Amino acid sequence: MSIAHRTLPVLEEDYQLLSDTVREFADEVVAPVSAELDAKHEFPYEIVAQMGEMGLFGLPFPEEFGGMGGDYFALSLALEQLARVNQSVAITLEAGVSLGAMPILKFGTQEQKERWLPSLAAGEALAGFGLTEPGAGSDAGSTQTTARLEDGSWRVNGAKEFITNSGTDITRFVTVTAVTGQVEGKTGPDGRPAKEISTIIVPSDTPGFTVGKAYDKVGWNSSDTHPLHFKDAMVPEENLLGTRGLGYANFLSILDEGRIAIAALATGAAQGCVDACIAYAKQRTSFGSPIASFQAVSFKIARMQARAHAARLAYYEAAQKMLAGKPFKTEAALAKLISGEAAMDNARDATQVFGGYGFVNESLVARHYRDSKILEVGEGTTEVQLMLIARELGL
């Protein structure tokens, strides 16, 4: 599939079929159980298995590794449709692909790909990516987790925070960024030798690797998120992922692609709020008339639709440039910024349209209101996106 020469926002037939299929699955399978999963903070194992059977986890991966042979735009379309009704399910897919499996595809050895990708692409296994620490994330120089090479094994010590898909029953490994030495001849902002940061694959059953208690989050309650601890966790030397010393640089390239996927997810959340408000405004009456007939309500929903539409165009363009092999870092940042704010703004307005019903946790708009805030924080905050955009403008 290719979008390199199509006119936005019309979808080619294969993309449209995928989008329609996932939309139907989201409406008929995911939506009916979403409130219960959210209330119980339960991970959606059955839904993950069904998405695996549909091939959603394998969408952007080559067939030789069990994938569907598609591309990142196909994944983005699936994420948009899922996020309309359940952001927790959507982020489980997004993180499983872009943060769990994609680093293996892009930087792994042939042996690593053959070992890990088939089960990840089938949705039978999940993986996480451990970057954020108590005092480090965007600031790579503050990374404290270390990996020392000793007699053919890496000794990993440290801690990670807010790691998605890291503690499920089907999590097979977490790839962690760790300080593996110093960069000769280069100093950091503090004047000390710059840290050499690499990425190490740590299987879930590694002695010394423990998964902390799941976070009690504001939203994304059905998504799996944990702190991680490493105390003399020993893994083979061949568990180095990619070139030693390029771990953070490699992750930044993964993050650029991931921002397109997150933008698609946020667009779905924004559109989900619109769809819910349209249906509610037509059936809810006040003073003898549907509230959809009141200009204050209809204009609010119209503005919500404008935000969702702009977000969709932004991530479409970013995906188009990425798949055409053109620079897309700025477009990805723009898409992440626009869509994240659209999701949060639409969730707030949807809650207003629904009134008291929008303040009840089991309602879709209440979940979107709680869920959407993280879209302005995760995978690069709004401020980081503004910094990237301003830098591109020469500011």
> Catalytic residue positions?
379
Separation between Cα atoms, residue 350 and residue 291, nearest integer Å: 13
Nearest residue to 50 via CA among 77, 30, 71:
30
How, if at all, do strands 126-130 and 171-187 pair?
A: parallel
The CA distances from residue 17 to 14, 120, 157, 224, 315, in Å, are: 5, 24, 47, 30, 19
Separation between Cα atoms, residue 267 and residue 102, nearest integer Å: 22
CA 234 to chain centre: 29
Nearest residue to 51 via CA among 18, 3, 84:
18
Separation between Cα atoms, residue 80 and residue 73, nearest integer Å: 11
Q: Which of 155-188 are b and which e, b meaning 16 or more Cβ less than 10 Å from the residue's Cβ?
A: bbbbbbbbbbbbbbebbbbbbbbbbbbeeeeeee
The CA distances from residue 365 to 49, 220, 308, 350, 372, in Å, are: 26, 13, 15, 6, 10
Whether residue 195 contacts residue 141, with contact meaning beta carbons closer than 8 Å, is answered with: yes
